[in-house]
Chain A
Amino acid sequence: MNEHEINAYDAIMEQSDHTHWAFGTGFDDPLAGVDPSVPEGMDAAELAAYCLMLGDDALIYSHRLSEWCTNAPELEDEVALANIALDLLGQARLLLSRAAQARGEGDEDSLAYLRDAHEFRNVHLAELPRGDFAQEIARLLVFSIWRLALLERLTESADPVLAAIATKGVKELSYHRDYAAGWTVRLGDGTEFSHERMTAGLAAIWPYTAELFISNPVEQRIGVDPAQLRAEFDAVLAQVLEPATLTVPDVAPMARVANQAGRDGVHTEALSYLLAEMQSVARAYPGATW
């Protein structure tokens, strides 16, 4: 090993290949070389629809979490939230790429940047505007307990690509959940003021938890039926709330629109504002690279 090779900056600055530049350009297909075929007996359109649901949850929540950069209370938490956002963005890239494969058209970029709000299938919890730190911790706790339970079951998927994405995601989400659980206990069982804020944060996001467990026909047919996750979710949440001296909020679920919500493309107005920001460059300069 020569000295040149162990200097990370020298390696990045090598002139021979532009993909070294800040990893910001030349993103290639995260499923490059993975067998794109859809398992026999599985409906490709339904597989695409299901991958969009799980991919959009990850993409939209990743974007919300990344808004904490320069806004978190401490550097360690900024690093943590950015890392969690990155994991979810990675899951989103794989899932949207799988959706594009199953559709037989488009790619992760066209799905992320060129759809309008009504074409997104994420749950409302993911798109809610950022509140204070306690509210974000409450949302991250609920989201990661739920998604971990979901992906654990999805490791048995009949689609080998989906099963592999889920297996990787399980490892990542257990860290996300433990981070959120640690802060929930620290704030809930902290000072009177932190307890008050954690209680308020949990109450603010709680109306959006009911939606997480409402089954969509596509989920029932080819994915994990979210209704089956409720018992595990409640049990794990209780393990966190008890030492945090918190209780499950007594607030009503958010009303649905004609019995529809995020999985049906019915969203809160917050999603349109989020997309306007997230998609602005890609839409202003179609196909641009930098």
Chain B
Amino acid sequence: MVSARDIAAQVKDPELPMLTIADLGILRTVREDGEHVTVEITPTYSGCPAMGAIRADVTRHLNAAGYRDVEVRTVLHPAWTTDWITADGRRTLAENGIAPPGPAPKRTPLQLGRRASAACPRCGSTDTVEVSHFGATACKALHRCRACAEPFELIKAI
């Protein structure tokens, strides 16, 4: 039997389906206690609408693998940070045209004007610009590459 940890770690994020919840740092702990499996997950953003789906997916995957008694708990502390996205996860993001985040800022001083951009995940150019702090999901910002003229998304460092 594959371990409960390995099963849970393979669950995909519904909004970034190229990443597993382990890659994303959402999966905190998996404990097997006899028949009972306790999985701890952590939300990325307060309003992330995917948490319910992730909880259901984890339970469904574990049930399918033979783990019948599954409890999925939410852990709020410490707060999720993009620093927890694994090296594999960052590489997969870039391969899928999404720029991985830089280091998370420690403090939150006022920042006027555009935030620093990142290397274009398509052509690698650093001649890029932020179009909007906000994107199609809570975790992404919209950027544009001036070299290849393509828009791209970037995971916001938080």
B77: which A residues are within 8 A, CB to CB?
Answer: 160, 163-164, 167
Whether A34 pairs with B45 at a CB distance below 8 angstroms is no
Per-position contact with A for B94-116: 1 when CB-CB < 8 Å, else 0? 00000000000100101111110
Does B71 make an interface contact (CB < 8 A)?
yes
A175: which B residues are within 8 A, CB to CB?
Answer: 133-134, 156, 158
Whether A5 pairs with B12 at a CB distance below 8 angstroms is yes
CA distance A182 to B18 in the complex (A): 33
Partner of B47, one of A16, A93, A148: A93
- Which residue of chain B has its CB nearest to the CB of A173? B108
Whether B46 pairs with A172 at a CB distance below 8 angstroms is yes
CA distance A179 to B141 in the complex (A): 12
Partner of A90, one of B46, B57, B132: B46
Whether A76 pairs with B132 at a CB distance below 8 angstroms is yes
Does B148 make an interface contact (CB < 8 A)?
no
Does A83 make an interface contact (CB < 8 A)?
yes
A84: which B residues are within 8 A, CB to CB?
Answer: 134
CA distance A91 to B138 in the complex (A): 13
Partner of A87, one of B17, B47, B56, B136: B47
Does B73 make an interface contact (CB < 8 A)?
yes
A-B contact count (CB 8 A): 144
The B interface, classified by DSSP as helix, strand, loop or mixed, is: loop
**Contact A83 to B134, CB < 8 A, known contacts A17-B60, A32-B72, A161-B76:** yes
Which residues of chain B in 120-156 are interfacial with respect to chain A, using CB atoms and an 8 Å cutoff? 131-136, 138, 142, 156
Per-position contact with B for A30-42: 1 when CB-CB < 8 Å, else 0? 1111100000000
Does A177 make an interface contact (CB < 8 A)?
yes
Per-position contact with B for A150-182: 1 when CB-CB < 8 Å, else 0? 001000000011011101111111110111011
Whether B133 pairs with A80 at a CB distance below 8 angstroms is yes
Does B78 make an interface contact (CB < 8 A)?
yes
Interface residues of A (CB under 8 A from B): 1, 5-8, 11-12, 16-17, 19-20, 23, 26-28, 30-34, 76, 79-80, 83-84, 86-91, 93-94, 148, 152, 160-161, 163-165, 167-175, 177-179, 181-182, 185, 236, 239-240, 243
